[in-house]
């Protein structure tokens, strides 16, 4: 999918994606010549269809996670997954070592992680831990989680 | 490359020049085609150690596909072959229980995959039943209305992930327990580089014969290598001879006529013929 700025006869550039609520998916594009922006809004049904294909509008921002579509889409059992490397489900009483790196989790971040459904929590934890490791972050806080969500486009996680 | 021109209604003089997709040479950052290609490559890499993928098809429900799949897998394992079972019947998963796997087993994640559960005779197994609460139907997050639009795509993606994201390891055979109908079988063909092999399961009745005939034709049209027909629940209880009829019609071996409660020797004989 490409967007054309008709007046400039120029291809618009992908700018960002958001999920503003009610299942709507928004992707914005900007004309590099005139600066005009447009937003594509997909209704919840269209959003779900794209998600179901396991593809990402705007491109992938992180490596595929095991059973990613299944875990994010299925209404699954809370304790269906046992994470490897002794990471538990991310809400244990340990120091909160991440499964994909060596960053510690602040208590506020663990509290927030605990609100993620158990079916998908381990996967979400691993994504944040990998992000922290990639960026040399020693402690994962809610602010770090917000930044990762924004940069990686983790809508719905 | 300029495409067709027109005008915005009501503006009179502002020309619109639509370019073609290919005519816009900048990168398509979404790259959906590339993402789909990578999904298929992931399936290919995961199944590199799997010698055979064998679908168990029928076209008709209630003929005992899962029962045959589970016992055939165990018989193959007894003959020193490494076997996996992918339960592709997402809406009625039963094969795990038939392999004596606890349906509430916790799935372990390792690196870039999940480990399959291990059932009787060491058969590796992955099933949607492991992911659901007891007695709960398969349900997806998303809008409750118009789910027919996307549900098929979601189930096809789940099949892809069960192939690509389960650490199947090295297998002599991966049996895929397919649900009634032909859709999931077609999806399996779409996801694999080469069409799978398949065995068809029927019961003796004319009704089953007709449904399985359709499934065999559909599979054949996709290039599936048909290994033979298995007639389940053979005996005086059901009228008909669907197994023999379909075998003749499609020029396939009748691999077995299984009575109710067949013993291990029956399964071992069947496994030896595959």
For chain A, the three-class secondary structure string (H helix, E strand, C coil) is: CCCEECCCCEECEEEEEEEEECCEEEEEEECCCCCCEEEEEECHHHHHHHHHCCCCCCCCCCCCCCCHHHHHHECCCCCCEECCCCCCCCCCCCCCCCCCCCCEECHHHHHHHHCCCHHHHHHHHHHHHHHHHHCCCCEECHHHHHHHHHHHCCCCC
Find the residue in A nearest to B16 (Cα). Answer: A6
CB of A150 within 8 Å of any CB in chain B?
no
Please, what is the Cα angle at B180 between B175 and B181, to 5 degrees? 110
Q: Give pTM, 2 decimals.
A: 0.85
Enter the ipTM.
0.85
Pairs across A and B, CB distance < 8 A? 148
Is residue B197's pLDDT more than 90? yes
Segment 50-79 of chain A within 8 Å of chain B by CB: 51-60, 63-64, 66-70, 72-77, 79
Confidence (pLDDT) at B22: 86
How far off is chain A from B53, nearest CA to CA, in Å?
A: 20
Tokens of B213: 């005939």
What's the mean pLDDT in B243-271? 95
| Residue B19 pLDDT level (bands cut at 50, 70, 90) | confident
Distance from CA of A16 to the nearest CA of B (A): 11
Angle, vertex CA B114, rays to CA A138 and CA B73, nearest 5:
170
Q: pLDDT digit string (tens) for B99-138?
A: 999 999 999 988 889 999 999 999 999 999 999 999 999 9
Q: How confident is the model at residue B180 (pLDDT cuts 50, 70, 90)?
A: very high
Say whether A74 and B132 touch across the interface (CB within 8 A). Answer: yes
Considering chain B, what is the average pLDDT of its residues? 92
Chain A residues lying within 8 Å of B187, measured CB to CB: none
A87: buried, middle or exposed (CB in 10 Å: 19+, 13-18, 0-12)? buried
Which of B10-19, B62-71, B154-163, B225-234 bottoms out in mean pLDDT, i.e. has the lowest? B10-19
């Amino acid at each position: 999918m490409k967007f054309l700025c008709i007046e400039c006869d120029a291809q618009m550039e992908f700018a960002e994606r958001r999920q503003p609520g009610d299942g709507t998916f928004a992707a914005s594009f900007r004309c590099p010549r005139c600066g005009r922006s447009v937003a594509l809004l997909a209704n919840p049904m269209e959003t779900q269809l794209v998600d179901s294909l396991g593809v990402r509008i705007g491109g992938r921002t992180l490596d595929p996670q095991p059973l990613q579509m299944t875990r994010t889409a299925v209404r699954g059992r809370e304790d269906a997954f046992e994470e490897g490397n002794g990471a538990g489900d991310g809400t244990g009483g340990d120091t909160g070592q991440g499964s994909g790196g060596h960053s510690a989790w602040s208590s506020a971040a663990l509290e927030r992680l605990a609100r993620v459904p158990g079916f998908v929590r381990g996967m979400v934890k691993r994504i944040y831990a990998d992000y922290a490791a990639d960026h040399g972050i020693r402690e994962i806080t809610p602010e770090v989680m917000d930044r990762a969500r924004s940069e990686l486009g983790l809508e719905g996680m | 490359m300029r495409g067709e021109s027109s005008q915005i209604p009501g503006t009179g003089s502002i020309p619109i020049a639509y370019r073609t997709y290919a005519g816009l040479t900048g990168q398509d950052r979404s790259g959906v085609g590339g993402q789909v290609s990578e999904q298929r490559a992931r399936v290919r890499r995961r199944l590199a150690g799997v010698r055979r993928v064998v679908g168990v098809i029928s076209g008709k429900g209630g003929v005992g596909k899962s029962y045959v799949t589970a016992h055939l897998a165990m018989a193959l394992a007894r003959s020193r072959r490494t076997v996996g079972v992918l339960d592709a019947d997402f809406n009625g998963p039963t094969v795990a229980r038939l392999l004596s796997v606890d349906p509430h087993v916790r799935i372990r994640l390792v690196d870039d995959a999940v480990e399959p559960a291990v059932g009787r005779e060491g058969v590796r197994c992955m099933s949607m039943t492991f992911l659901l609460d007891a007695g709960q139907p398969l349900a997806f997050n998303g809008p409750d209305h118009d789910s027919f639009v996307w549900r098929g795509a979601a189930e096809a993606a789940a099949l892809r992930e069960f192939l690509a994201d389960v650490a199947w390891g090295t297998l002599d055979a991966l049996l895929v327990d397919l649900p009634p109908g032909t859709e999931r079988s077609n999806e399996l063909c779409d996801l694999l580089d080469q069409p799978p092999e398949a065995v068809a399961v029927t019961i003796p009745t004319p009704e089953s014969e007709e449904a399985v005939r359709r499934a065999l034709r559909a599979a054949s049209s996709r290039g599936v290598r048909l290994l033979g027909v298995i007639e389940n629940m053979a005996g005086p209880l059901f009228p008909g001879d669907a197994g023999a009829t379909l075998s003749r019609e499609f020029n396939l071996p009748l691999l077995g006529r299984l009575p109710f409660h067949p013993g291990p020797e029956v399964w071992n004989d069947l496994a030896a013929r595959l």
